[in-house]
Amino acid sequence: NKKYTIAVLPGDGIGTEVTPVAVEALRLAGSLEGIDFEFKEMLVGGAAYEATGVPFPEETLKAFLESDAVYLGAVGITKKMPSSDHLPKHLRPEVGLMRIRRALGVYANLRPITVFPQLLEASSLKRSVTEEVDFMIIRELAGGLYYGKPRGFGINEKGEETGFCTEIYSSSEVDRVARIAFDMAMERRGKVCSVDKATVLESSRLWRKRVTIMSEEYPEVDLSHMLVDTSGMELIRYPKQFDVLLTTNVFGDILSDVAAMITGGIGMLPSACIGGPGPQLFEPVHGSAPDIEGEDVANPLAAVLTAVMLLRYGLKEEAVAKRIENAIFDTLNEGFRTRDIPTPGAKIVGCKKMGEEILKSL
Amino acid sequence: NKKYTIAVLPGDGIGTEVTPVAVEALRLAGSLEGIDFEFKEMLVGGAAYEATGVPFPEETLKAFLESDAVYLGAVGITKKMPSSDHLPKHLRPEVGLMRIRRALGVYANLRPITVFPQLLEASSLKRSVTEEVDFMIIRELAGGLYYGKPRGFGINEKGEETGFCTEIYSSSEVDRVARIAFDMAMERRGKVCSVDKATVLESSRLWRKRVTIMSEEYPEVDLSHMLVDTSGMELIRYPKQFDVLLTTNVFGDILSDVAAMITGGIGMLPSACIGGPGPQLFEPVHGSAPDIEGEDVANPLAAVLTAVMLLRYGLKEEAVAKRIENAIFDTLNEGFRTRDIPTPGAKIVGCKKMGEEILKSL
Ligand SMILES: CC(C)[C@H](C(=O)O)[C@@H](O)C(=O)O
Ligand SMILES: CC(C)[C@H](C(=O)O)[C@@H](O)C(=O)O
């Protein structure tokens, strides 16, 4: 049997509820295709901070380097730690997540927005708007406003406190993520829409310039540019227009949550963080969701769809990926839903039960 | 008769089509209440660049200082100038707009999101989601990523080109716009939701800290904080939760366009830029819209609703404001719609005809 080692970081809040579902789906689907997984469970985020005093322990990093892919549940505040505001920056759970992304060298975050026909009624948007939507958001993940320096706190000439960050992109940072977008478009419908705010931001002007230069290597791909404010509107007005939507770190953070609403919500969105030299990182788009933590009502589909991405983009095990995808499809066809994606006549179940149904379908 | 002088800047693209509608509505409604308006038409944006070589001529600035309020149609690219990328920054139309805001010292951009019951079917969102939505976005308008320094282009240690901007806020910049939000909430349903990305951005941490401090002066107001990505989702999932949504310059730019889709689109959104020492600035949220420019299909309602804001917040002439508001209501009741806000059984008309119907209702 082929064998893969997966570093598993359940993380915080509902991360610990949805991750076991994804792990069991991987294990079962793998065994059906003659593949063994070894799962190494590690700490990260608030959970790691509580156990070890830091949100991203050395041990966890070591486990990464010995694994074929990294699976992360969710990182953030929890019922027990309802705010991280009191912690110095380097100890906050979210900063643990940013460190992981950095440590793995991943720079492109793929967030597919695909509407399941069974869930058309679960969206706030009209069926006519969401039907057949299928696009990929590619969010730059290693640069921009999230990491740029200088950043910190200061005192200005009037003696007032200030807080500041730097939005900066270099040519190679744009080029490498643009390449992923163009390559992806070649395998899809051949369209890239690059989103920036080039009318106002110098960082966006460089972004637009480099994306345009990169597009010359891809004459088959149709490149367009859209301002970020317009794109926020267009995602809701007419999402079918998008094939690959390429954008910066901070814009991608916002736009992918907006786009989540097309699919019935953030409980449906998986993501893959790729581009690094070693193992790649896979995480649902949702956070730790302290409001529903511990109640067994979280939607595990984002987590399971993330396992699909791990198989597809991380391990290139398409057959196993397809098996899990089909099992999700069957489970939805049987009418099972978590409460965040209600549809008329559905059977509303909890996180665990939804997981069991997926395993049954497998 | 009372008399006001209004500096009118039709600007670019559809700005020149919708502005006359707003001006005529002001003139007629004013005369019915014994108020005279003198309109001084000035150039700005691409139109000013073509005529004078700069997007914000000295003359225009002078006219501002002699006026009681400034009305702006739209600024941006046009059919004739389909991109401003080739122009140096200080000559770009959008930079003209940013200069105007700066010159007037306005720092709070009020963007009301109000759903007209007649237009419930015009939104991409389901009626159950948009019904009775009524909140106010307050976008910081004079600081943050739009103006922070240093900004520009450089070469990094690897010899690569870079583009960079600074997101910076000082205490007083946050305090003054927060005060507007809290005051507004006192006149509304008493709730402020402040949107930031405090988990990642230092500028947002200062923002959150100052907003929290300011809230102590308003014990009757219920303050909550929301991360910007979450807010992008919540605006679509359950917009009724919001009363006053306070946010930064760049986040407000994106979120108000997302929120536009609740009301049936950006053709419905007015805005007021307030807080300056002199005349305040009033502008529809939409841009120059080169795609529909010159076709007499633009929706003039955002422009006319902007005139209402000018009366309400700029001149404190509530009686005139109400007259125009009622005329819009009647026109919608009669079934007139522009093509961007179609509803079943509506009479689709152009920009001019819509304007005529509003005047008739007045
Ligand atoms: C937790 C936070 C740092 C993170 C981000 O903003 O990148 C999250 O919101 C996400 O989108 O993955
Ligand atoms: C034209 C541009 C500078 C402007 C902005 O981003 O502020 C516009 O998008 C707006 O929202 O008023």
Task: Report which DSSP code applies to A37.
Answer: E
User: What residue in B sits closest to A262 (Cα-Cα)?
Assistant: B236
Ligand 1 atom showing the smallest separation from residue A101 Cα = 7
Q: Where are the alpha helices (DSSP H) in B155-248?
A: 171-187, 202-215, 228-237
Which residue from B341, B339, B333 is spatially nearest to B357, judged by alpha carbons? B333
Longest dimension (CA), chain B: 68
Tokens found for residue B117:
């019951």
A72 C-beta closer than 6 A to ligand 1: no
Ligand 2 mean position to B4 CA, how many Å? 27
Which one of 3.40.1450.10, 2.60.120.10, 3.40.50.300, 3.40.718.10 gives the CATH number of domain B1-107+270-362?
3.40.718.10
Provide the pairing of β-strand A2-11 with A69-74: parallel
Which one of 3.40.50.10800, 3.20.20.70, 3.40.50.10860, 3.40.718.10 gives the CATH number of domain A134-261?
3.40.718.10
Q: Where are the alpha helices (DSSP H) in A188-280?
A: 202-215, 228-237, 249-260
- If 0-12 CB within 10 Å is exposed, 13-18 middle and 19+ buried, where does residue B158 land? exposed
- If 0-12 CB within 10 Å is exposed, 13-18 middle and 19+ buried, where does residue A219 land? exposed
Ligand 1 atom showing the smallest separation from residue A98 Cα = 3
Task: Report which DSSP code applies to B267.
Answer: G
State yes or no: is B169 an active-site residue: no
pTM (2 decimals)? 0.96
List the single residue in A203, A230, A266 with the smallest CB-CB distance to B163: A203
Spatial neighbors of B322 by CB under 8 A, at least 6 apart, are none
d(CA A231, CA B267): 15
Tokens found for residue A117:
């026909």
How many CB atoms are closer than 10 A to CB A54? 17
What does each of the 362 residues of chain A score in pLDDT, given as a tens digit?
899 999 999 999 999 999 999 999 999 999 999 999 999 999 888 889 989 999 899 998 888 889 999 999 999 989 998 888 888 888 888 888 898 998 999 999 999 999 999 999 999 999 999 999 999 999 999 999 999 999 999 999 999 999 999 999 999 999 999 999 999 999 999 999 999 999 999 999 999 999 999 999 999 999 999 999 999 999 999 999 999 999 999 999 999 999 999 998 899 999 999 999 999 999 999 999 999 999 999 999 999 999 999 999 999 999 999 999 999 999 999 999 999 999 999 999 999 999 999 999 99
Shortest-distance Cα residue to atom 4 of ligand 1: A94
d(CA B42, CA B63): 8
Ligand 1 mean position to A253 CA, how many Å? 6
Which residues 136-165 in chain A show a CB within 8 A of chain B? 145-146, 148, 151-153, 156, 158, 160-165
List the single residue in B164, B254, B265 with the smallest CB-CB distance to A237: B265
A94 C-beta closer than 6 A to ligand 1: yes
Query: Which entry of B68, B222, B253, B296 is annotated as an active-site residue?
Result: B253
Which residue from A229, A137, A135 is spatially nearest to B260, judged by alpha carbons? A229
At which residue do the structure tokens 């389909």 appear?
B82
Which residues 196-255 in chain B show a CB within 8 A of chain A? 197-208, 228-230, 232-233, 235-238, 250-251, 253-255
Percent helix, percent strand, percent coil in chain A, to nearest 5: 45, 20, 35
Q: Which fold has domain A1-112+269-362?
A: Isopropylmalate Dehydrogenase (3.40.718)
pLDDT in tens, B9-63: 999 999 999 999 999 999 999 999 999 999 999 988 888 998 999 989 999 888 8
Every domain range in chain B assigned CATH 3.40.718.10: 1-107+270-362, 134-261
Query: Which entry of B257, B313, B322, B353 is annotated as an active-site residue?
Result: B257
Beta bridge partners of A168: B164
Every domain range in chain A assigned CATH 3.40.718.10: 1-112+269-362, 134-261
